[in-house]
A and B are shown apart, each in its own frame.
Chain A
Amino acid sequence: VSDVSGGLLMAARFILVTSGVGMFGWASFALYASWAPRPRAPAAIRALAPLAAATAGVVWIVGLAREAVGAPGLPDPSVVLSLCLETGFGRALAAAVLLSLLLAVFALSPRRPPMRAVAYASGGLLTSLAFVGHAAGVSGVAGGVRIGVMATHLLLAGVWLGGLLPLALALRTTGAETGRLLRQFGNVALTAVAGLVTSGMISAAVILGMAARPPGPVYLTAFAIKLALVAALLGAAAVNRWVMTPLAARNPTRALRGLRWSLAAEQFLALALLAAVARLAQLDPGM
């Protein structure tokens, strides 16, 4: 894959995964913390994530068709259509684009959409992405298990990382309920992190243990960067859970001041982590 195409595919993957994580996190937060205030942004901002996801999905499909053909310029539309219909990852990406468009319709509707429907659509989007990448390389029961593990990993990432933004926004107006919201998010996030670490370890063991060649320095460096970002994120989450949450019970004002910074840091680290994952997914472990 050329550098330009590789960069484009990586950017498309990053935008699609990040949008999916954000939308699923938002919907699941609205379901388990339905009592918390949820300010509604203008339609243009609400539609930003699903439209960015749909665009990234189309760019991803066209980029893969271009790579598959191996010729410069835009691929023939019939090749793009054939990729969407005849390959497993093409069908998965086409489904992701359609679900993104459905989510855009939800976002643009004047009434609040049913959050359960948003959760199903955004969860379906994240699940479809498990079919595009290293986990989809093998068929049969083993392939099904790998895709299942990857889908679980993506959904749990959505619950945790995608829940950070709605949490930060809700904390602006929760007042005396700050401690309750933090405890609720903390319990959900803790469960999600446990599942994320487990599914991540299984995926890493499978990829590294079954790679065609021993892991190379480029892949190992990218993997180490991902692990460092995961460690930093867990550190920030631990501060929120075991320092800020008890502080919120005693002194909500002081806790909120600290939380503004720690949640912003956590979201920044989450974006960096998703970028590192997009890079890792493009690499051959043997590199």
Chain B
Amino acid sequence: MRHLAFIAALLAAAMSGQGALAHAFLEAASPKVGGRVADASEVRLTFSEPVEPAFSTISVTGPPGFAGAGAAKPAGPDHRTLAASLKAPAPPGRYLVHWRVLSRDSHVTQGSFRFEVGR
């Protein structure tokens, strides 16, 4: 009985952590995936598990006149969020975000999505 209680406690502790296990996938994005915003100063991505910022990139391409995005930097204490500042101005038009991250469990994942700036 004591063994079972110990195993149950271990299982509960192991499952108590925030975030999902096994490979980092995009959980939330700002601007939202496929969304439309009036203005954008940065792209902020939250993943399903912690990532290694030094080996993770966010690239943003946009309409003519868009100056690009800065390097991806950690944003938040849980190491699951990265942010890349957009070089002003972010003219109206369609933007493509491509992310590639190395998660703490050593796996590489990548993906892309679009968003739109304009009224």
Contacts and interface: CB of A to CB of B under 8 A. Distances in A.
Contacts of B23: 212, 284-286
A142 B50 contact: no
A134 B107 CA distance: 9
Contacts of B79: 139
A210 B25 CA distance: 13
Nearest to A210: B21
A207 interface: yes
A129 to B, nearest CB: 11
Interface string A119-162: 00000000000001111111111110110010000000000000
A62 to B, nearest CB: 13
Contacts of B108: 1, 67-68, 70
Nearest to B105: A137
A202 B10 contact: yes
A125 B23 CA distance: 24
A90 to B, nearest CB: 8
Contact of B11 (A1, A132, A135, A202): A202
Nearest to A282: B107
Contacts of A83: 55
B104 to A, nearest CB: 6
Interface in B18-34: 18-23, 25, 27
A211 B25 CA distance: 10
Contact of B103 (A69, A137, A143, A285): A137
B20 A212 contact: yes
A164 B8 CA distance: 31
Interface size class of B (residues with CB under 8 A): 20 to 34
B22 A285 contact: yes
A137 B21 contact: yes
Nearest to B26: A212
Interface string B74-105: 00001100000000000000000000101111
Contacts of B100: 70
Contacts of A209: 15
A205 B25 CA distance: 20
B22 A284 contact: yes
A136 B102 contact: no
A259 B14 CA distance: 39
A286 B112 CA distance: 18
A253 interface: no
Contacts of A210: 15, 17, 20-21
Contacts of A207: 21-22
B102 to A, nearest CB: 5
Nearest to A1: B108
A206 B107 contact: no
Interface of B: 7, 10-11, 13-23, 25, 27, 48-50, 52, 54-55, 78-79, 100, 102-110
Interface of A: 1, 64, 67-70, 82-83, 86-89, 132-143, 145-146, 149, 198, 202, 205-207, 209-213, 284-286
Given A142-B13, A202-B14, A285-B23, 17 more contacts: A1-B108, A87-B52, A87-B106, A137-B103, A137-B105, A138-B19, A139-B17, A141-B13, A145-B13, A146-B14, A202-B10, A211-B22, A212-B21, A212-B22, A212-B23, A284-B22, A284-B107
